Structure 1
Amino acid sequence: MLSITLTLSQLLQQYIGLSQVVSEVIAFSIIFSLAMLIAWIGHSIFKRYLCRWAAKTETNLDDEILHNVRAPIFILGILFGLYYGLVGIASLQAYAQDFATAFTVGEILVVAFIITRITNVLMSWYAEQRVKREKNVSNHLLFILRKVIQIIVYVFAFIIILGVFGQDLSGVIVG
């Protein structure tokens, strides 16, 4: 993808005669717009087809999972487009490693957010199923369990982020 941004910028410079800065801005705009379009198409496919398909099932579990995952996946698409658009700008090449690290951290956090949303949906669905079977469910216990799961997910995300920054995690993994 990096070579596509540079190639697009070079083609604009060579055949249209634009300056380097203008061609890079246009290449960024094209790549970011394409990423937005792909993310929007993916969002529309989720909304139109997958949600309709999920509505035909007996439970609402899949409906809720799709509803809670749709927006973060759209955000991931935007992050990818923003990253691949910015990497092709020559004046920002000195910061390429910083961009890669920042976008990797952003992607890890979005994936952790998706996981916590899915676990929250699963916990709510489980509580509804227990109530339907006339078994008591402690809302306080479910709340605490949700928070514990969220903490575990974000701690793992934090450990992965530390690994991205090159921190030695052998003590954390062993301990």
Structure 2
Amino acid sequence: MVLEFLSPYLGSYFETIRVIIIIVISLFVAKAINFFLDRGIRRLTEKTKTTLDDKLVHAIRKPILLGALLTGVYFSLHSLSYLSGYAALINQAFTVVFVLFVSLFLVRTVNAVIEWYGEEILSKTKAQEQMIPIFRKIAYIVIGLIALLWLMNQLGIQITTLVATLGIGGLAVALALQDTLKEFFAGMYIMADRPIKIGDYIELDSGQKGFVEDIGWRTTKIKMLGNNRIIIPNSKLSSSIITNYYAPTREMSVVVPVGVGYGSDLEKVEKITIDVAKKVLKKTDGAVENFEPFIRYKEFGDSNINFSVILRVKKYVNKYKLTHEFIKALKKRYDKEGIEIAWPIRKVYFAKKKVD
């Protein structure tokens, strides 16, 4: 209103001054947004535990400032009377700029989310670190394709045929790479769901055991204790029943089956067995020293009264050493105490045949 009132006095300088004022206002708005993000939002995000909000604020800061300046330039150009004949061209140009601006905004936002996911959610493993660039490239390609189609549509270019062609081409590629894509998405599922991770000791439903050495795009590598390597397709692994001996914790129980003769004093057997177990736990590497071992009688066997001794180790592979030491120590103590571990025997009774 003020400019309109002063226009007769400003003459030929009126439009120039109006453009300058619009640019100055857009700069002021950009500075105000920058101040709000820096002093207000940023201080709030610093108080949260997650870094996602910090990364998002940093990602959108420059695009928002750029958007404010571009808005000022747009209105400035439309305010110039000698450019009124080029209004349609200006609109088309800024349509392109707007599409590119939205694409930039989305790319920076998605990149911030992917970085946060890689730093706070995914484990620091080689396989998962390799997946971050893949996620980023896929996101960039999707955003780029959407931006291209949107831009073509805004410029009046028919995209129906192009979309149909892309759909048919994508279907053909998907069919040609069906097995590869199946393994790839199975690998992504394993990394996202994380039923296993590198370094875990697992057992498959096929009976194979070993340490997870690598989770790749197509296969997962497992190293057995015998230093052999098993290579499993990700699709097969994702559909298998897996026992993870390192989840939820590495510490686990070890059950050792034992049997004593029927003539044994079971109270004495229990007392001696627990005493031996405690001593072995304290001196064996990898055993949980403060664990209280116990036994449970379970059946009357053919030759012995069978029971289980429950011990505890810090991780799965320690069970072999602990079982080894416990069996040696228990046999030695049983021999000393006169406790019999009976040989497998079978009594056969013959019926007497009457002789006429």
TM-score normalised by structure 1 residue count:
0.85
Structure 1 residue 11 displacement after superposition:
3.3
1:147 to 121, 126, 137: 137
Whole-Å separation in 2 of the counterparts to 1:96 and 1:23: 20
Contact 2:55 2:116 in 1 (8 A): no
Whole-Å separation in 1 of the counterparts to 2:52 and 2:157: 39
Alignment of 1:40-79 (within 5 A): 40-79=31-70
Structure 1 residue 41 displacement after superposition:
0.3
Between the aligned residues of both structures, percent identity stands at: 27
Q: Provide the residue aligned with 2:152 in structure 1.
A: 162
Amino acid in the other structure paired with 1:130: L
Contact 1:112 1:153 in 2 (8 A): yes
The number of aligned residues is: 164
Is residue 12 of structure 1 aligned with residue 2 of structure 2? no
Q: CA RMSD in A?
A: 1.8
Whole-Å separation in 2 of the counterparts to 1:88 and 1:37: 19
Amino acid in the other structure paired with 2:49: E
Q: Provide the residue aligned with 1:4 in structure 2.
A: none
Contact 2:74 2:94 in 1 (8 A): yes
Q: Provide the residue aligned with 1:105 in structure 2.
A: 96
Is residue 86 of structure 1 aligned with residue 80 of structure 2? no
Contact 1:69 1:118 in 2 (8 A): yes
Whole-Å separation in 2 of the counterparts to 1:12 and 1:159: 46
Offset from partner CA, 1:98-141 (integer Å, 9 cap, x none): 1111122112211111111111111121122112xx66643332
Q: Which has the larger radius of gyration?
A: 2
Alignment of 1:17-32 (within 5 A): 17-20=9-12, 22-32=13-23
Higher relative contact order, structure no. (Cα contacts within 8 Å, ≥ 6 residues apart): 1
SS in 2 for 1:38: helix
- After superposition, the Cα gap between the structure-2 partners of 1:120 and 1:108, relative to the gap in structure 1 and judged at 3 Å, is same
Q: Provide the residue aligned with 2:276 in structure 1.
A: none
Whole-Å separation in 1 of the counterparts to 2:5 and 2:74: 21
Is residue 130 of structure 1 aligned with residue 122 of structure 2? yes
Amino acid in the other structure paired with 1:164: Q
- After superposition, the Cα gap between the structure-2 partners of 1:171 and 1:8, relative to the gap in structure 1 and judged at 3 Å, is farther
Higher helix share: 1
Shifted more, 89-98 versus 164-173: the winner is 164-173
Whole-Å separation in 1 of the counterparts to 2:2 and 2:147: 35
Whole-Å separation in 2 of the counterparts to 1:58 and 1:142: 22
Contact 1:8 1:27 in 2 (8 A): no
Shifted more, 80-89 versus 135-144: the winner is 135-144
Q: Provide the residue aligned with 1:118 in structure 2.
A: 109
TM-score normalised by structure 2 residue count:
0.44
SS in 2 for 1:101: helix
Whole-Å separation in 1 of the counterparts to 2:78 and 2:137: 37
Whole-Å separation in 1 of the counterparts to 2:2 and 2:24: 14
Shifted more, 47-56 versus 97-106: the winner is 97-106
Amino acid in the other structure paired with 1:11: F
